[in-house]
Structure 1
Amino acid sequence: MRGLYLITNDDDFLLLLQKLEVALATKKVAILQYRRKKVIRVEQVFEVEKIKQLCEKYQTPFVINDDISLAAQFGLGVHLGQSDGDIQTALACLPEGMVIGRTCLNSLDLARQAIHDGATYVAFGAAYATSSKPEAGRLDFVTLQQAHQEFNLPICVIGGLSVENAKVVIEQGADLCAVISDILALNVQDIPKRIAAWDALF
């Protein structure tokens, strides 16, 4: 896995779906994560089903944020924060070979544990200040360099990333750059050009 890691926002779902269709149609989104904090569970099930169909259409890997049971319901991968369940549980509940990501903050030790437990990729951040997770600590780029040297699985970086500031993050060892607003805050017609700019960075 290498490239743009797109995370959903809390926009109106029909607008979000329209933007996702345009984004995934570029075939330049490496992975999509479902993260809808303001949506009740019944609606989440409906939304995941719709987005899964899109991901299958465009052959984009799809993971669920934080929720192992929702991921298991649809046979999808999962991204787990430090307080959202453990990797062993995910491995036991999900189909074999599913993507399992782990938030590792700014800690090589957390990343080592995640890899030992069976994570598919590890995520560090926040690279820069971000409105979606204002409580997140800042990433030390020395940690990113060390992770790139030590680990042989994809390294994801998240937090305030944009086309304009991500080049240094990629140069320091990020395989995946996770973004929300840098893509989904745009008008639908502007998304393909922005994704092409991301693709050029990688």
Structure 2
Amino acid sequence: MIEQFASAKPLSTAKPALPKLYLLTNDDEFELLMAKLEVALATGAIKLLQIRRKKVLALLDGAAQLYREAQQIVALANKYQVAVVINDDIELARKLGVGVHLGQTDGSIAEAKRQLGTEQIIGRTCHDSVELVKEAQAQGASYAAMGAVFSSNTKPNAKTVSRTQLLAGCKQAIDICVIGGLSVENIHQLRGLPISYIALVGDIMELSVDNIASRCQQWQQALSGWNESD
């Protein structure tokens, strides 16, 4: 994958807006999770936050526990004026007054728009498929997520998206989110592409609380030169 993206160039002479950092929660113990989120959001680097707590949902009272956790996470995000989406759960998103990110089998965009309204962010997983990106755009999604760009600890067996597929996705009339194995060290390989969101889990959430602020600052510096030629 490294060689595929190393020569990526802007698709037009017009400089695209800088991508926004999109942070996904992990399965840390809740108190630790909140400490990490407090530090990350306080830097101002994070513009969108997804609540995804797979291990909590697997518990006997997982849905109730997730709701309690999500209330606190949303309150924290509101403090720093960061938009929030819930992973896969339209009903929970409605209860919390936030957006939703939907996998291909986790509900329809039309139903999400009906329950959440047009003002909320609605994302759709599109893997490496430009056709799914087109469907998401036609159905009114806010963004289409393409990946994995690189293999990652979160999804080590995920199919990676090719350079050609990603370029084609970026040409569609919908915001594109890239996800999968992205880091400060490899993001330069996508520099210049008109992507809207860079989704991160491990590159921030696997760090200790003490190291998160500096990592977010590294991300801000990396993205500040997004439209610059090498």
How far residue 133 of structure 1 moved from its aligned partner, in angstroms, is 1.9
1:87 paired with 2:109, answer yes
Distance 1:191 1:157 in 2: 21
Segments of structure 1 that go 5 or more residues without pairing to the other structure are none
Contact 2:137–2:173 (Cα < 8 Å) also in 1: no
1:65 paired with 2:82, answer no
2:179 aligns with 158
Letter in 1 for 2:107: G
CA RMSD between the two structures: 1.3
How far residue 155 of structure 1 moved from its aligned partner, in angstroms, is 1.0
Q: Secondary structure at 2:54's aligned position in 1?
A: coil
2:36 aligns with 19
Letter in 2 for 1:139: V
1:29 paired with 2:29, answer no
Q: Secondary structure at 2:100's aligned position in 1?
A: strand
How far residue 170 of structure 1 moved from its aligned partner, in angstroms, is 3.7
1:145 aligns with 167
Contact 2:100–2:121 (Cα < 8 Å) also in 1: yes
1:190 paired with 2:211, answer yes
Q: Which has the larger Rg?
A: 2
Segments of structure 2 that go 5 or more residues without pairing to the other structure are 1-17, 57-61, 224-230
Q: Percent identity, aligned pairs only?
A: 44
Distance 2:206 2:222 in 1: 20
Letter in 2 for 1:174: I
Distance 2:211 2:157 in 1: 30
1:180 paired with 2:180, answer no
Letter in 1 for 2:128: N
Q: Secondary structure at 1:104's aligned position in 2?
A: strand
1:77-134: CA deviation from partner (whole Å, max 9, x where unpaired): 0001111111001001113310000111111110000011010011100011122123
Q: Could you state the TM-score of these two structures normalised by the residue count of structure 2?
A: 0.84
Contact 2:86–2:93 (Cα < 8 Å) also in 1: yes
Letter in 2 for 1:118: G
Q: Could you state the TM-score of these two structures normalised by the residue count of structure 1?
A: 0.95
How far residue 152 of structure 1 moved from its aligned partner, in angstroms, is 3.8
How far residue 8 of structure 1 moved from its aligned partner, in angstroms, is 0.2
Distance 1:57 1:95 in 2: 23
How far residue 25 of structure 1 moved from its aligned partner, in angstroms, is 0.5
1:115 aligns with 137
1:38 paired with 2:55, answer yes
- Structure-2 change in CA distance of 1:49 and 1:157 (3 Å): same
